[in-house]
């Protein structure tokens, strides 16, 4: 059985505005992987292992952006603002799927 592999955050439809994209962006934030790492070719197990590391880092801050130190708050804003802008360019609609849109 062939294992599924991730296509990479840069190739993920609609700007990777999904759980895997968030894991990768948060791993960049905490310096767990370089921002050049797209995770292309990673297996589910690899992404899950990264998720565990990201979760440990978030635990230090109560899993809240508002508890991040100033330098990480700024970096979080930069990473996520860029991701949101790119996703919107690709057609992502943050309101899609809300009640009434089904």
Sequence spans of domains, the chain:
13-89
32-85 pLDDT, tens digit each: 999 999 999 999 999 999 999 999 999 999 999 999 999 999 999 999 999 999
pTM for the whole thing?
0.91
Q: Reply yes or no on whether the pLDDT at 18 is more than 70.
A: yes
Q: Which long-range contacts (CB under 8 A, 24 or more apart) does 85-93 make?
A: 86/15, 87/14, 87/15, 87/16, 87/17, 88/15, 89/15, 90/13, 90/14, 90/15, 91/14, 92/14, 92/15, 92/17
């Amino acid at each position: 059985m062939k294992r599924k592999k991730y296509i990479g955050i840069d190739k993920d439809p609609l700007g990777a505005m999904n759980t895997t994209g968030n894991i990768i962006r948060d791993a960049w934030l905490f310096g767990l992987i370089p921002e050049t790492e797209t995770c292309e070719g990673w297996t589910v197990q690899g992404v899950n292992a990264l998720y565990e590391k990201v979760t440990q880092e978030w635990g230090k801050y109560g899993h809240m952006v508002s508890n991040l130190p100033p330098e990480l708050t700024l970096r979080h804003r930069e990473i996520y603002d860029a991701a949101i802008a790119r996703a919107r360019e690709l057609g992502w609609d943050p309101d899609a799927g809300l009640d009434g849109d089904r």
